[in-house]
């Protein structure tokens, strides 16, 4: 037997109309999922591999240099990241093993929110170029470390573009790269190219503070190109994300062949930079845990672990994946990024604990954070949406 349900909480004010009456959030509302896009991009690369169009062992420059030359004549992978970039493979990008620096740093994050930048179209080349200005441009020799960098997934987007038979980067149609059966799991999801956010986003986000120290900004009518293209450009509902995760990682392997998915599930702990030792990374997939033990990376099928991907983008936080022990896919998203624990440490953690108790009679003890209620809210209430497929 199987079942699915969705829950929405909170209210949505009408942006730009202070006197408007906020409406209740619904399960059909769309949110930004940030790095929750990465499993989709990685799956697209694997779909091309399955079609014989590339090998994960191919030199990355073979696929991306023609794209870079078209987008900005004279640009090459080695020109950006040095001669050692010749050793980066396609597989290194989707496994976070290329060694390329990230563009997701406070200076660049803040630049993209400036009034003269946030409404104009930004080419994905700009993101890669900015990352290449970090010193050193490669933090390790390709293939010798596992270091989280969203830049990898812009480069993976160039790989997709090389085989997409389109003229411009904004014409990339990710679902079309998949087999017909897999395309069914994209029906409610859209991947921004150069539209303005409000064209498809129904819930505005609130950014401000956080690790990037961004100013308070309503995320609503900016250019969608500030999201970083194929590393974080998905807009959809939590239900659609949960369905995709179930189709990709569930028992039937509907999105990609089972053998391909098993290959994607070869995990290695992040060992350099952000989250080193606390997350394992596969091919566009993470293993995370509600009960991290220092010195012991999360391991399936321990209770509290899940395989999927988190998302943190301007104004939105999300977590999604298949939860160990529950035979369920869960996606939760909130429209604020200031309180970094509201989704994973509160909503996601509490959902696992409650589900285990209700469905299986199992009592779990995780360090979940309780919803804090001290003092009045300082701005519009955060909106959250959660979904199960069981």
Q: What pLDDT score does 15 carry?
A: 84
In the prediction, which pLDDT does 213 show? 85
Output phi, psi for 382, to 5 deg.
Answer: -65, 145
Q: Using an 8 Å Cβ cutoff, are 34 and 319 in contact?
A: no
Q: What is the pLDDT of residue 309?
A: 98
Nearest to 337 by CA among 189, 215, 194: 215
- The angle at the Cα of 173, spanning 71 to 179, to the nearest 5 degrees, equals 130
Residue 114 phi, psi (nearest 5): -65, 145
165 by Cβ neighbours in 10 Å (0-12 / 13-18 / 19+) ranks as exposed
The pLDDT of residue 384: 41
What pLDDT, on a 0 to 100 scale, did the predictor assign at position 358? 93
Tokens 């992978």 locate to 77
Q: Give the integer Cα–Cα distance in Å for 105 and 209.
A: 13
pLDDT value of residue 1: 59
The pLDDT, as a whole number, for residue 87 is 98
> Which pLDDT score, from 0 to 100, does residue 379 have?
45
pTM here is 0.95
Could you tell me if 322 and 245 are in contact, meaning their C-beta atoms sit under 8 angstroms apart? Answer: yes
- Per-residue tens of pLDDT for the chain, all 390 residues: 578 888 999 999 888 777 788 999 999 999 999 999 999 999 999 999 999 999 999 999 999 999 999 999 999 999 999 999 999 999 999 999 999 999 999 999 999 999 999 999 999 999 999 999 999 999 999 999 999 999 999 999 999 999 999 989 999 999 999 999 999 999 899 999 999 999 999 999 999 987 788 899 999 999 999 999 999 999 999 999 999 999 999 999 999 999 999 999 999 999 999 999 999 999 999 999 998 788 889 999 999 999 999 999 999 999 999 999 998 999 999 999 999 899 999 999 999 999 999 999 999 999 999 865 544 444 444 444 444 443
């Amino acid at each position: 037997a199987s079942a699915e349900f969705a829950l929405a909480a909170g209210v949505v004010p009408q942006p730009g109309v202070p006197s408007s009456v906020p409406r209740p959030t619904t399960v059909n509302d769309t949110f930004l999922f940030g790095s929750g896009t990465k499993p989709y991009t990685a799956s697209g690369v694997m779909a091309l591999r399955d079609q014989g169009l590339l090998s994960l062992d191919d030199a990355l420059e073979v696929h991306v240099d023609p794209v870079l030359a078209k987008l900005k004549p004279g640009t090459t992978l080695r020109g950006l990241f040095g001669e050692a970039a010749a050793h980066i493979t396609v597989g290194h990008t989707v496994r976070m093993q290329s060694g390329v620096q990230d563009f997701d740093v406070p200076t660049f994050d803040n630049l993209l929110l400036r009034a003269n930048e946030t409404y104009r179209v930004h080419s994905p080349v700009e993101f890669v170029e900015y990352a290449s200005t970090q010193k050193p441009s490669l933090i390790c020799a390709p293939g010798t470390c596992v270091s989280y960098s969203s830049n990898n997934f812009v480069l993976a987007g160039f790989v997709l573009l090389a085989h997409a038979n389109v003229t411009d980067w904004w014409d990339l149609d990710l679902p079309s790269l998949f087999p017909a059966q897999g395309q069914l799991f994209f029906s409610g999801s859209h991947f921004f190219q150069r539209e303005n956010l409000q064209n498809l986003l129904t819930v505005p986000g609130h950014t401000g503070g956080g690790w990037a120290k961004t100013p308070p900004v309503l995320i609503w009518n900016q250019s969608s190109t500030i999201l970083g293209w194929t590393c974080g450009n998905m807009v959809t509902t939590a239900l659609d994300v949960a369905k995709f995760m179930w189709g990709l990682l569930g028992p039937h392997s509907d999105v990609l062949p089972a053998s391909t998915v098993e290959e994607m599930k070869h995990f290695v702990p992040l060992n350099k930079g952000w989250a080193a030792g606390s997350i394992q990374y596969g091919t566009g997939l993470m293993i995370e845990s509600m009960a991290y033990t220092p010195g012991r990376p999360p391991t399936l099928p321990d209770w509290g672990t899940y395989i999927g991907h988190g998302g943190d983008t301007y104004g939105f936080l999300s977590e999604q994946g298949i939860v160990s022990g529950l035979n369920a896919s869960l996606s939760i998203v909130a429209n604020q990024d200031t309180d970094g624990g509201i989704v994973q440490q509160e909503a996601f953690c509490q959902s696992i604990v409650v589900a285990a108790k209700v469905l299986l009679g199992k009592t779990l003890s995780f360090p979940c954070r309780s919803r804090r209620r001290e003092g009045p809210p300082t701005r519009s209430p955060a909106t959250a949406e959660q979904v199960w497929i069981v």
